[in-house]
Structure formats: structure tokens, C-alpha cells
Amino acid sequence: MKLIHPPSSADIIAASDLIRPYIETTPVLHSESLDQLSGSRLFFKCENFQKAGAFKTRGATHALLCLEEKERSLGVVTHSSGNHAQALARAARIFGIPAYIVMPQNAPKVKVEAVKAYGGKITFCKPTLADREETADNIVRQTGATLVHPYNNYDIIAGQATVCHEILQQGVKPDFVLCPVGGGGLLSGTLLSAHYFSPHTKTIACEPESANDTLQSIEQGQWMPVKNPDTIADGLRTSLGALTWPIIKQYVHQVVTVTDREIIYAMHRIWERMKIIIEPSAAVPVAVALKRLPALKDKTVAVILSGGNTNLDQLPWQ
Amino acid sequence: MKLIHPPSSADIIAASDLIRPYIETTPVLHSESLDQLSGSRLFFKCENFQKAGAFKTRGATHALLCLEEKERSLGVVTHSSGNHAQALARAARIFGIPAYIVMPQNAPKVKVEAVKAYGGKITFCKPTLADREETADNIVRQTGATLVHPYNNYDIIAGQATVCHEILQQGVKPDFVLCPVGGGGLLSGTLLSAHYFSPHTKTIACEPESANDTLQSIEQGQWMPVKNPDTIADGLRTSLGALTWPIIKQYVHQVVTVTDREIIYAMHRIWERMKIIIEPSAAVPVAVALKRLPALKDKTVAVILSGGNTNLDQLPWQ
């Protein structure tokens, strides 16, 4: 059953139970070294260890589970080419249905290969948003498949909300949650889970300075999308959507932005000290933790490491 | 109390209890993707997450704990410049005693910085083994500090034996253990733990083809050290020692060698699929697992990921 309103606490608990057999319950890691660098007690939620390498697996799997069986059997479509595409292709394979992935002709080979590895059916298009949307619409018409938007979809939001729900279930009692924001699926889900299950916890949206539509929107009090932002955090170049923005506006405690230089430094520190691989987007909340904001001093802070899919042949600090 | 004989089962259990407050109980990870690639059920013991980034912390900490208090207060010396040096420096700092580390003038900056970060007192020497040993001997004479050999020391062997003991405690019931071999401290400890605590488990020594002194020694039935071997697995360039060789000769099931190319491929696969960072030496047993040896097909195989200290600015596949 598809959600037609922002997920309730019961919806998030239900999503969590529904997707559990198909996903990893990812560990929460702690590092003395990062505690010293940040001045906070950091608890890292490792969605880089999630199936298909990112939290997107939660939302995509949940969205598929919410489709009627007949509808689901016709397959799913998306024109995202990043972690959502891999997650959707993986989820579709589990249920034995086709996943049609629309990708621009110039998509990096590593992303094309990753989607292929999960059995996604790729259709290439011109590298414009208009052509991507048109190509996806054509596929919907021809196949009857369902378009699954990467974040502007309440089933997706409920799935992403299970990250924060799981952190709390794992016994962390955070004063703050640091969450990256791109389209806002993970952030809006996190805000709802924190609101329902740990009302004293404040959620900070962590955003690249050059893709700061969330900051601008909050400051202006209205939705302010940005066009073609340039940041190394490739998962966070999208702007908030019509469904995520109202939730974020209502519940977010603060938006903090970081530069690409800070993101790269944070990513390197996590690799070096914790021996785990995170992608640039996941380093954004780490970069916020390393700013040593006075409000976070000595506080218990959950940091969502959103994913680990990065090109190992081109490291940003080289 | 220092061990003057190969560790007994009681010695290993005692070592495990002694060092526990000072080390990480590292996780055992599993990966469907690596299972598919190998054809075995692999359980990865993540000593890359160990304090100071490698299993060496176990042996070094245990060796310090075995010194009489008066002896310990004068400090410790080593002329290893790798993970053992970092581990010894860290352990010495915990006990508030000096760690004198002799390093060749041409040691990589990253290693020098790592030892400094743990408070080690570095003495540089000429890049010959003779000069390293002489420099270390001079320090022993001048300071009364104790030389702690990286592997030719039963207290070290008992400490490294806790890795395999811990794997078994964590509920893994391996048919095989894949263990890297350089000087043989980890391998001899692993052989003893497997022998005492899981007699049906067979331990395979995993060795770089170009540093194959263990294979040669086993084949010839006598200790055959190799000089200046050239392999990317920098932790495995040393030859077996007088104390490790007899244990290895008695208990090892098989020695399997792998090329540097296989090591690099295995390292890349672990980074890419498991999102964790391992060093080249730790990739050696992974490379053996990926050889798809008929004997390992569908078997439960523990793979010791020995460490995660590698230069993030120079990746071997680039």
C-alpha cells in the first residue's frame, strides 16, 4: 500500500519490519581518534556497508514492497543514475522484475557497470534533464512500469527513515544527528524518526556550500532550488523536492554547509583512521563534525555515513 | 612473566585475558559478493580495525605486559619500522614508558609520522640490517631498555595467537584458516590456537610468490630464509625466525603462494565490495581464497585481514 501522506511513526516501524529481510542492519562504529579530532562523542551509522553500498537500498526496497503485486510485476523505472539506480536494480532483481534505468550517454563507466551488475536494463539518453524525463516517460508508457522517484515519494522517505530509527534501536542516545542533504529523502526521514522516537534529538542538515539550496530555502522561508551545482559530493547535487521540503522546513534544527576542501579532508580522515571507505557525500556530515561547533562540544552525535560508492581509481585528495 | 617455550593453550587464554582491556575485539565480517567470487563461505577477521591498524598490537601489548615492572619502566626497543613499531609505540605510551624505534634514514615519511604520532622516540640509522641491529644494541646498552623482536619472541607469538582464539570465540567454526606469513609470528600463533581449540581446522599459510621462504622451507624440510625479496606485501618481506619455524613446520597444513598481481586484485576487490581498507599484506590470504582451490569449495574459511595501514596517496592499482 503506497503512502499518500508523510510517514507516521507506525509507518516507519512497519517499513523497518518490511525491509529487514532484504537489507543489512548496518553497524554503528566509534573511533577515539575521530572523537579527539571533533571534540564530540561520535557514533557513525555505516550505511556504506549497506547492500548496494548506500542507504538508498532501504527506500528503493520499501517502495517496491509497497506496490501492488500486479503493478510490481510490470517493473520499475528511474532516471537517477547514482546510488538510487543501483539500489532499485538490486531490489527489482530480488523480486524478479525488470528495473529500467535511464542514464545520460556521458554517465561514468563505473556507474553504468554497477547498474549492469545488478541486472538493471539501461536506456541511454541525451545528458539533459528534459531528455531523461521524456525517455523515462516513454518507458512507462511502453511497459506499464512504475516510476520510482529517488526522494519525492513518501514510501522512499519512510524507507530512508529506518536509518535513524535503527540508530536509536541500536542504543545510541544522540543529542544531535548529522545528516547529509541532497534531494532530502534521507533528511526528511531522519527528521521524522528523530521527532517520533527521540524528541530531544536535534537534527542538523549537512550540505555542500556550493549546493546549498536547503540553507537558502530555510533562510528565505521558501523552496529555493539551485541549478547545476558543482560539488565533489555527487550524491548531493539535487535540490529538495515538493514532498521533502515541507518536512525539512518543519523539523530541521539547523543547516550547516561545508566546502569541498573540508569534505575531502573529512573523507581522508575517515579512510585513514577508521579504515573504512566512504564516498564524498557521506563525508559531508563528518566535515560538519570536524568543524568543532561549540554546540556539539562533548555531545553525543550520530553521524550518518550515507554510502561508500566511490571511484577507487580517482581519489579526490590525489 | 616471559614465556620461554611455545605458548600452551593456557598461555594463549591468559594472553587473551591480559590484553583485552588494551585492544579491540575486532569484528568478523561476511560478504555475499566475496563468497560468490571465491566459491567458499568466507569469514573475515578484521584486524585492520585493530588499534594502531594491525594485529601487531596484540603481540606488542602482550610482550610489554609480560615484562617485570622494573624492566618495563626502562622502556622497549625495536628496529622494525612497520606495524610492529607503531604497535609497540602505542603500547609503551599506555604504560607511560619510552619506546625507542630504530628506523633507516630512507624510511617512508608515512611510517615515520605514524610512529611519531604514537609517541615513539625515533633513532635514524643507515639502511642496512647490520646498522639497524647495532643502533638498537647501543640503545639497549645506554638505556637498559628491552629489545622486543617483532616475531621471534614467545610472548609476541602468544599475543598474535589471540586472533585465531578470538575468531573461534566469536562462533566461527572454520574448516580452514587462511593466514599471511612473513616472519611467522601471526602464523605460528594461529597454528597453535587452531591446534588447541579447533583441532579439525586446517591452517593454510599464504605467502607472496617472491618472498616464498616458508614454501621453500617446508619443501626442503629445513629453514631457508630469503634475502631482500621484492613484493608489494611490505609486511611479509621478512623470513621465518628460529622460534616460529619449528611451530610452522610441525602444524602447517599447506603453503600457498600468490603473485603481486593477484594480491593487488584481491585488495581492490575487498575495498570495492566490502568498503573496508586493507593493506597489501592482508590481501595475500584473500588472493588465496580467490584462487578457488578445489579443497576450499563450499568450505567455511576464516580469512585473517591482518592490517589496514597503507599509503592512501599511492594505490597499487593506479
Residue B88 inside a domain? The answer is yes
B36 and B83 fall within a common domain: no
Residue A276 contacts B where some CB pair is shorter than 8 Å: yes
CB contact under 8 A, B272 and A312: yes
Give B109: exposed, middle or buried? Use CB within 10 Å, 0-12, 13-18, 19+: exposed
| Amino acid letter, residue A23 | I
Q: What is the pLDDT of residues B30-47, one digit of tens each?
A: 999 999 999 999 999 999
**Which residues 73-92 on chain A approach chain B with CB closer than 8 angstroms?**
none
Chain A residues touching residue B54 (CB < 8 angstroms): none
Based on the domain organization, do A51 and A61 belong to the same domain?
no
Same-domain status, B174 and B240: yes
Q: Is residue A4 part of a domain?
A: no
Helix and strand numbers (H, E) in chain B are: 13, 10
In contact, A201 and A174? CB cutoff 8 Å:
yes
User: How far A187 CA sits from the closest chain B CA (Å)?
Assistant: 23
Reported as a pLDDT band with limits 50, 70 and 90, residue A94 is very high
Q: How far apart are CA B151 and CA B60, in angstroms?
A: 10
Residues A17 and A116 in one domain: no
- In a shared domain, residues B213 and B66: no
List all residues of chain B from 128 to 187 with a beta carbon under 8 Å from chain A: none
Query: Cell 532499485 appears where?
Result: A88
Q: Are residues A172 and A88 in the same domain?
A: no
Q: Band of the pLDDT at A1, cuts 50, 70, 90? A: low
- Kindly state the average pLDDT of the residues A97-107: 92
* One domain, residues B140 and B211: no
Q: Cα A294 from chain centroid?
A: 27
Q: Average pLDDT per run of 10 along chain B, which is 318 residues long?
A: 92 98 97 96 98 97 97 95 93 97 86 91 90 94 97 97 98 98 98 98 98 97 92 93 97 98 98 97 98 98 97 92
Tell me what pLDDT residue B108 has: 80
Distance between CA A299 and CA B65 in Å, rounded? Answer: 34
Residue B311 lies in a domain: no
Pairing type for strands B28-29 and B41-46 reads: antiparallel
- Rounded mean pLDDT of A278-289? 98
Q: Which pLDDT band, with edges at 50, 70 and 90, does A284 fall under?
A: very high
User: What pLDDT is attached to residue B111?
Assistant: 83
Q: Are A178 and A204 in contact (CB under 8 A)?
A: yes
SS3 per-residue string spanning B119-177: CCEEEEECCCHHHHHHHHHHHHHHHCCEECCCCCCHHHHHHHHHHHHHHHHCCCCCCEE
B99: alpha, beta or left? (left if phi > 0; alpha if psi -120 to 50): beta
pLDDT tens per residue across span B222-268: 999 988 899 999 999 999 999 999 999 999 999 999 999 999 999 99
> A31: domain CATH number?
3.40.50.1100
First-last CA distance in chain A = 48
Listed in order, strand segments (DSSP E) in chain B are: 28-29, 41-46, 76-78, 99-104, 121-125, 146-147, 176-180, 202-208, 254-258, 300-305
Q: How far is B267 from chain A (nearest CA, A)?
A: 11
Residue where the block lists cell 638505556: B143
State the Cα–Cα distance between residues B77 and B140, nearest whole angstrom.
7
Q: What is the pLDDT of residue B81?
A: 74
Mean pLDDT of A40-56: 97
CA distances from A95 to A64, A90, A122 (A): 9, 9, 18
- Clarify whether residues B187 and B220 are in a common domain: yes
Question: What local confidence, expressed as pLDDT, does residue B27 receive?
Answer: 96
Based on the fold, state whether residues B180 and B278 are members of the same structural domain.
yes
What pLDDT is recorded for position A210? 95
Q: Which domain holds residue A260?
A: 9-55+153-305
* pLDDT for position A278: 98
Q: Is residue B260 part of a domain?
A: yes
pLDDT in tens, A105-142: 888 888 888 899 999 999 999 988 889 889 999 999 99
The β-bridge relationship of strands B176-180 and B146-147 is: unpaired
pTM confidence score: 0.95
| 8 Å CB contact between B19 and B62 | yes
Q: Which of B105, B126, B147 is the last residue of a domain?
A: B147
* Residues present in chain B in total: 318
> Is the minimum CB–CB distance between A242 and chain B shorter than 8 Å?
no
Residue B1: the pLDDT is 67
Do A36 and A64 belong to one domain?
A: no
Q: Is residue B313 part of a domain?
A: no
B317 falls within a domain: no
- Of B114, B147, B180, the last residue of a domain is B147
All 3 cell numbers of residue B168? 573461534
Contact call for A317 and B313, based on CB within 8 A: yes
Q: Is residue B315 part of a domain?
A: no
Give residue A84's pLDDT.
Answer: 96
Instruction: Give phi and psi for B244, each to the nearest 5.
Output: -85, -35
Chosen from A34, A275, A276 to mutate, greatest number of chain B CBs within 10 A: A275
Note whether residue B3 is domain-resident. Answer: no
**Would you call A170 helix, strand, or coil by DSSP?**
coil
**Cβ-based contacts under 8 A for chains A and B:** 38
Same-domain pairing of B130 and B176? no
Q: Looking at the structure, do residues B185 and B284 belong to the same domain, yes or no?
A: yes
> What pLDDT is recorded for position B107?
82
Under DSSP, the state recorded for A94 is H
Contact A277 B278 (CB under 8 A): no
Set of chain B residues whose Cβ sits within 8 Å of the Cβ of A274: 49
Average pLDDT score, chain A: 96
Name B102's bridge partners.
B123
What value does the mean pLDDT take over residues A9-37? 97
- B112, B147, B182 - which closes a domain: B147
The per-residue pLDDT for B104 is 86
Neighbouring CB atoms inside 10 A of A167's CB total: 27
Say what the pLDDT of residue B80 is.
Answer: 82
Q: Count of domains in chain B?
A: 2
